[in-house]
Amino acid sequence: MITALLIATAAASFGQTSGLTPAGTLNAGLLTPGRLAPALDGGVYVTDQAAGQVVRYTADGSVVGTYPISQIPVGIGVASDGRVFVARQDGTVGIYDPSFNSLGSLNPAPLTMTEPNDLAVHSATGEVFVVDSGAHRVLVFDGTTGALLRAWEPKGPGWAVLSRPRPSLSTQA
């Protein structure tokens, strides 16, 4: 129910304000819709962990394509040049072109990602921010080279400590 609301909300934010596609139609083919990211053309990408795929929709809810990700897609983000970053269940973040041909992956060296579950691409700098819940940190990568730039990690007393950072749904009365 929440996922259908999120997808309908995303469709509405892309300019569709009336005649929203019924949730049952929009979710056709999705087993477990997870995270979403806007596509450059006004559509949206949706991760589906159970099906091991990313589904791309137009703004009106038509399926543009389905892209299998054998490492199980979790989070997703899109760069201003159309490259797609996918946080995967195997502890990596894959980089894909708009047709989902693999371009490699982000390199967290000297660190190791343990549970990347969400990410965002900064529209001005191109930096990729990855939430690594298993390590309780946020990693920041150069979106062009894939190299690790910095990490926000728990530092102990006196510092803001991250404890399994995850996306959350805020509900206010």
Does residue 148 share a domain with residue 85?
yes
Evaluate whether residue 10 is within a structural domain. Answer: yes
- Indicate whether 17 and 53 sit together in one domain: yes
Write the CB contacts of 123 (distance below 8 Å, at least 6 apart in sequence): 80
53, part of any domain: yes
- pLDDT given for residue 102 in this prediction: 96
Q: Hey, which residues does 73 pair with through a beta bridge? A: 88
| Domain shared by 136 and 84, yes or no | yes
My answer on whether 51 and 23 are in the same domain is yes
Residues 29 and 83 in one domain: no
Q: How far apart are the two ends of the chain, measured CA to CA in Å?
A: 19
More confident of the two residues 102 and 8:
102
What is the rounded average pLDDT of the residues 67-88? 96
CATH number at residue 57: 2.40.10
Residue 105 reports pLDDT greater than 50: yes
DSSP 73: E
For residue 101, the domain's CATH number is 2.40.10.500
Show the domain range for 56. 1-68
Long-range contacts of 52-55 (CB under 8 A, 24+ apart): 54/84, 54/86, 54/100, 55/29, 55/30
Q: Band the pLDDT of 156: cuts 50, 70, 90.
A: low
Same domain, yes or no: 86 and 144: yes
**Cβ(58)–Cβ(64) below 8 Å:** yes
Q: Are residues 145 and 112 in the same domain?
A: yes
Number of domains in the chain: 2
- Backbone angles phi and psi of 145, in degrees to 5: -90, -20
CA distance 78 to 98: 9
Contact of 45 with 11, CB cutoff 8 Å? no
Bridge-partner residues for 143, per DSSP? none
Specify the range with the lowest mean pLDDT, choosing from 33-37, 128-132, 159-163.
159-163
pLDDT one-digit tens code per residue, 117-144: 999 999 999 999 999 988 889 999 999 9
Least confident span in 3-7, 48-52, 102-106: 3-7
Q: Does residue 86 share a domain with residue 64? A: no
Tell the residue number behind the tokens 């990729």, with chain if given. 128
Sorted by sequence, the CB contacts under 8 Å of residue 46 that are 6+ apart come out as: 7, 30, 33, 34, 35, 36, 54, 55, 56, 57, 76
Q: Is residue 160 part of a domain?
A: no
Q: Is the dihedral of CA 6, 12, 17, 19 positive or negative?
A: negative
